[in-house]
């Protein structure tokens, strides 16, 4: 996925009210950018950090900028949660994720379950289906990508509904998409949300699958790049 328009570099002043961030652009202009991320963004919102913004293509939009990337250490991290679904759908269509390759159609945001939408629905001509739920991952500790970075009752609910799809005879796959390049494995942040850890373990025991893929992140674009091993029993970096 390439950004439609060139990103503009700046320096983060602060993130606040979850969805807002003040940024000083390289030309000295101070702007307020939309932050498309409802998580805590732990480790990814340090004031003074280099950030990259995209200009709005709608002249009527109140906020003229969207926060896309932040530099953490030597690398960039994609913080915009609007992109992972599109990235995974694109990768599925191109056969880049072997675990979910070989399907004839790729659809996004399809209603299923009691009152939900699956991020990506893969289907074959014979009627078989694979329900793909995508989780954006930005948190990293001790070389591990971790999810979630805040308590997510919604995430646990999705696992229950995916388990229901497996019970009906379909595949259901959790794809944890890491929008950074500096991690070597994935684990659940059980100290942040132990209930999610338990929900994932239960879902996997009933047939829900889980994979993790890391992205290559540059100011020009974000692409699904390489798989990361799951280390679901790995000890956490902090208590």
Top CATH class, 8-76: mainly beta
Q: What is the pLDDT of residues 16-55, one digit of tens each?
A: 999 999 999 999 999 999 999 999 999 999 999 999 999 9
| pLDDT of amino acid 113 | 81
Q: What is the pLDDT of residues 171-192, one digit of tens each?
A: 999 999 999 999 999 999 999 9
Return mean pLDDT, the chain: 95
Main-chain dihedrals φ then ψ at residue 203, nearest 5 degrees: -65, -40
DSSP state of 2: B
- Other Cβ atoms less than 10 A from the Cβ of 180: the count is 25
Mean pLDDT score, 131-141: 97
Please say whether the beta carbons of 12 and 70 come within 8 A. yes
Domain-wise residue ranges, the chain: 8-76, 84-228
Q: What is the pLDDT of residues 55-74, one digit of tens each?
A: 998 888 899 999 999 999 99
Main-chain dihedrals φ then ψ at residue 232, nearest 5 degrees: -75, -15
Mean pLDDT score, 69-84: 97
| pLDDT of amino acid 115 | 79
CA atoms within 13 A on the CB side of 130: 21
Cα–Cα distances in angstroms (integers) from residue 129 to residues 87, 102, 120, 132, 170, in the given order: 20, 11, 10, 10, 6
Q: CB-based contacts of 1: which residues, under 8 Å, 6+ apart?
A: 83, 86, 87, 90, 221, 222, 223
Query: Could you give the 3-state DSSP secondary structure of residue 182?
Result: coil
Specify the CATH number for 84-228; select among 1.10.580.10, 3.40.1350.60, 3.40.50.1970, 1.10.645.10: 3.40.1350.60
């Amino acid at each position: 996925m390439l950004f439609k328009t060139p990103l503009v570099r700046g320096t983060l002043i602060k993130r606040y009210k979850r969805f807002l961030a003040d940024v000083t652009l390289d030309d000295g202009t101070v702007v307020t950018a939309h932050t498309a991320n409802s998580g805590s963004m732990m480790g990814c919102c340090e004031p003074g950090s280099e950030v990259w913004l995209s200009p709005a293509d709608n002249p009527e939009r109140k906020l003229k900028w969207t926060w896309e990337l932040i530099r953490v250490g030597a690398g960039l991290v994609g913080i915009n949660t609007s992109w992972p679904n599109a990235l995974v759908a694109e990768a599925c269509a191109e056969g880049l994720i072997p675990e979910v390759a070989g399907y004839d159609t790729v659809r996004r945001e399809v209603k299923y379950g009691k009152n939900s939408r699956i991020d990506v629905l893969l289907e074959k001509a014979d009627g078989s289906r694979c329900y793909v739920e995508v989780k954006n991952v930005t948190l990293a500790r001790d070389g591990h990508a971790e999810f979630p970075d805040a308590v997510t009752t919604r995430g646990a609910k999705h696992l229950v509904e995916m388990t229901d799809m497996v019970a009906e005879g379909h595949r259901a796959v959790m794809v944890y998409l890491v929008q950074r390049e500096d991690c070597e494995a994935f684990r659940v942040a059980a100290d942040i949300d132990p209930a999610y850890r338990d929900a994932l373990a239960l879902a996997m025991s009933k047939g829900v699958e889980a994979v993790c893929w890391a992205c290559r992140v540059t100011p020009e674009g974000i692409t699904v790049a390489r798989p990361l091993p799951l280390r679901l029993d790995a000890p956490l970096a902090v208590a």
